[in-house]
Amino acid sequence: AQTVTQSQPEMSVQEAETVTLSCTYDTSESNYYLFWYKQPPSRQMILVIRQEAYKQQNATENRFSVNFQKAAKSFSLKISDSQLGDTAMYFCAFMNLANSGYALNFGKGTSLLVTP
Amino acid sequence: DVKVTQSSRYLVKRTGEKVFLECVQDMDHENMFWYRQDPGLGLRLIYFSYDVKMKEKGDIPEGYSVSREKKERFSLILESASTNQTSMYLCASSLWPTTGVTEAFFGQGTRLTVV
């Protein structure tokens, strides 16, 4: 079974600053996806960014980027120019493409607070 | 826009009741999932389904069952609700990776309280 570890239960950052959220995972598979999801106080889970394991280039979506280190099994999320609306729970997730069903395995989450 | 709709946002049930949580998606997704979310534990997979009438146990299936009679609908059933099933329940759906770009789309969640 795959495990996903987020070692930072809570983090805080000032508006306009940059913050990095950590995620490590454990798998023996070579073909998989990694995701970061955001869950604001409204509870709606929203996809932030996705990385396919076979792609070496790190994914980027506007202010959000990842540092994907496949050998180290690390997948951190960098948020640049933090905004108050970035305050949310952030979940790292792993999808094994060898499994039927393609369920996501989630980490326990990091609660991010952006302060003025 | 993909929509995943859960039938209730808040639900209060009594211990021993049979509880049905309903989830409907409108994008013809093959895969559907039920997760349970608890503080400090993240999201844990209860059951998933990759086709009509197909179901697979996730990590914490005890005390739950599911039904998928139609592709768009995936129901979670608590056979006899207990207080330790008080939680947030999230439904999600996704395409098979071979048929499209894969991401899971989530419903708004049902906060279930068992008293």
Chain B residues at the A interface, defined by Cβ less than 8 Å, are 31, 33, 35, 40-45, 48-50, 56, 58-59, 88, 90, 92, 94, 96-97, 102-104, 106, 108-109
Tokens of A113: 């607070």
Per-residue pLDDT, A101:
65
At A18-74, the pLDDT tens digits run: 999 999 999 888 888 999 999 999 899 999 999 998 888 999 999 999 999 999 999
Which pLDDT does position B61 carry in this prediction?
Answer: 96
**Average pLDDT per consecutive 10 residues, chain B (115 residues; last block may be shorter):** 89 97 93 94 94 91 96 96 97 79 88 98
Q: Please state, in angstroms and rounded to a whole number, the distance separating the CA atoms of residues A106 and A81.
A: 26
d(CA A93, CA A90): 10
Look over chain B and give the mean of its residue pLDDT values, rounded to a whole number.
92
- SS percent in chain A: helix, strand, coil, step 5: 5, 55, 45
User: Mind listing the pLDDT tens digit for each residue in A11-28?
Assistant: 999 999 999 999 999 988
Find tokens 């395409």 and name the residue: B95
Minimal CA separation from B68 to chain A, in Å: 14
